[in-house]
């Protein structure tokens, strides 16, 4: 569906916008989504299997190797025009709350502030036993196809260090989840970008906004919900659709050839 004047008006009149992102917003930075089949050492695994406390107990080196491989990919990646457009949009609207399911830091590296990470971060490892934070000194140099890698040990209790992400079957950080639901319930417009809307409770956030009377706009190459009244589906890659949206919103800020021109 094209970006209509009615939709642009909804953006212009919005006092509070929530931007809710999934793996698709980082796809154009070369970060595989969860839909993309795993490769190399992990190709025979389902991500939802690997991203569990049981998988880590069973084979810590397999799981730690996977996360260090992902952390390496993220450190080698750059924010893409979608991340930049979201950071620019925050300057264009009175209030913007950015909620992400992603464990990368590409939103922050694009200039977004106060990003709510529902599922944790690749850059916040902690001890699996005593939960104390652990500082990773070296930059991961993982072979392209990945490898098993023994997790480091906790300096305090010698426990195994685990990635600072929320695994399946684990509770989400209470404050982040509450802040996300509060924002969804109070916003005028929610932009849902690059998510398949499968993983709960995060996947309920767009519906909370819709039920609270907000306009919901999905950005995804895969068509999503669309009733033409308060729910819209902009089908396309976020790195193309979002700069277009910002350009059409016009005014001071614009994204020119991928880099933000103040
Ligand atoms: C919990 C961190 C309480 C780790 C992640 C209710 C019903 C059914 C099941 C459940 C339920 N409640 C809870 C569950 C269980 C489970 C769940 O939801 N399972 C699913 C599989 C059904 N939820 C949990 O376990 C949650 N915890 O409920 O705790 C509890 C506790 C104890 C006992 C009982 C209850 C914890 C869930 C969090 C798991 N951790 N990530 C890591 O990263 O390794 S989830 C992870 O997967 C991501 O963070 C993200 O949330 C999800 C992947 O989804 P997306 O981001 O949407 O990505 P995906 O690849 O799927 O899709 C990409 C999309 O982008 C596609 O649509 C594609 O078309 C699009 N796209 C592609 N390119 C582009 C694009 N879009 C735009 N531009 C492009 N260029
Ligand atoms: Zn410890």
pLDDT of residue 48: 85
Is this structure's pTM higher than 0.85? yes
Nearest CA to ligand 1 atom 19: 199
pLDDT of residue 255: 44
**Residue 237: cis peptide before it, omega within 30 degrees of 0:** no
Is residue 60 within 6 Å of ligand 1 at its C-beta? Answer: no
Q: What pLDDT is attached to residue 93?
A: 96
Confidence tier at 37 by pLDDT (50, 70, 90)? low
Question: Per-residue pLDDT averaged across 237-257, rounded?
Answer: 79
Residue 257, pLDDT score: 45
pLDDT at 80 over 60: yes
Distance of CA 122 from the midpoint of ligand 1 (Å): 16
The token duo for 68 is 């260090």
Q: How far is the CA of 58 from the centre of ligand 2 (A)?
A: 19
Q: Tens digits of per-residue pLDDT, 81-136? A: 999 999 999 999 999 999 999 999 999 999 999 999 999 999 999 999 999 999 99
- Alpha carbon nearest to ligand 1 atom 67, residue: 196
The beta-strand segments (E) located in 158-221 are: 161-162, 189-193, 215-220
Concerning whether 156 is annotated as a catalytic residue, the answer is no
What pLDDT does residue 47 have? 84
**Closest ligand to Cα 22:** 1
Which helix (H) or strand (E) element contains residue 20? strand 16-21
pLDDT tens profile 51-65: 999 999 999 999 999
- Rounded Cα gap, residues 148 and 142, in angstroms: 10
Show the tokens assigned to 24.
């698709």
Per-residue pLDDT, averaged over 12-37, amounts to 94
The single-letter DSSP state of residue 167 is: P
190 lines ligand 1 (CB under 6 A): no
Cα 67 to averaged position of ligand 1 atoms, centre (Å): 16
Share of the chain above pLDDT 90, in %: 81
Q: Pick the range with the lowest mean pLDDT from 18-27, 109-118, 165-174, 227-236.
A: 227-236
Q: 172-222 pLDDT, tens per residue? A: 999 999 999 999 999 999 999 999 999 999 999 999 999 999 999 999 999
E-state strands within 203-258: 215-220, 231-235, 254-256
pLDDT of residue 146: 84
CA nearest ligand 1 atom 53, residue: 34
Q: What was the pLDDT predicted at 256? A: 44
51 lines ligand 1 (CB under 6 A): yes
- d(Cα 129, Cα 73) in Å, to the nearest integer? 27
Residue 202 carries which DSSP code?
Answer: G
Q: Is the pLDDT of residue 251 over 90?
A: no
What is the whole-number distance in angstroms between the Cα of residue 133 and the centre of ligand 2?
A: 8
Catalytic residue among 83, 119, 134, 218: 119
User: With 60 as the cut, is the pLDDT of residue 254 above it?
Assistant: no
Q: Cα(18)–Cα(86) distance, rounded to whole angstroms?
A: 10
Q: Which atom of ligand 1 is nearest to the CA of 35?
A: 60
């Amino acid at each position: 569906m094209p970006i209509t004047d009615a939709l642009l008006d909804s953006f212009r009149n919005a006092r509070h916008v929530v931007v809710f992102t999934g793996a698709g917003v980082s796809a154009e930075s070369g970060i595989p989504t969860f839909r993309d089949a795993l490769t190399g050492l992990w190709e025979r695994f389902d991500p939802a299997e690997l991203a569990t406390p049981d998988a880590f107990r069973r084979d810590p080196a397999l799981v730690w190797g996977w996360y260090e491989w992902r952390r390496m990919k993220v450190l080698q990646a750059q924010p893409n025009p979608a991340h930049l457009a979201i950071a620019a949009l925050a300057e264009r609207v009175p209030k913007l709350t950015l909620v992400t399911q992603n464990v990368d830091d590409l939103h922050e590296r694009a200039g977004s502030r106060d990003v709510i990470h529902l599922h944790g971060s690749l850059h916040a490892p902690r001890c699996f036993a005593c939960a104390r934070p652990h500082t990773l000194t070296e930059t991961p140099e993982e072979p392209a196809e990945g490898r098993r890698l023994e997790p480091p040990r906790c300096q305090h209790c010698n426990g195994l260090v685990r990635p600072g992400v929320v695994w399946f079957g684990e509770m989400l950080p209470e404050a982040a989840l509450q802040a996300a639901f509060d924002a969804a319930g109070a916003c005028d417009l929610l932009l849902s970008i690059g998510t398949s809307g499968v993983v709960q409770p995060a996947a309920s956030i767009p519906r909370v906004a819709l039920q609270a009377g907000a306009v919901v706009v999905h950005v995804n190459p895969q068509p999503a919900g669309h009733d033409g009244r308060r729910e819209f589906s902009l089908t396309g890659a976020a790195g193309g659709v979002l700069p277009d949206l910002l350009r059409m919103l016009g005014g001071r800020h614009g994204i020119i050839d991928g880099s933000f021109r103040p």
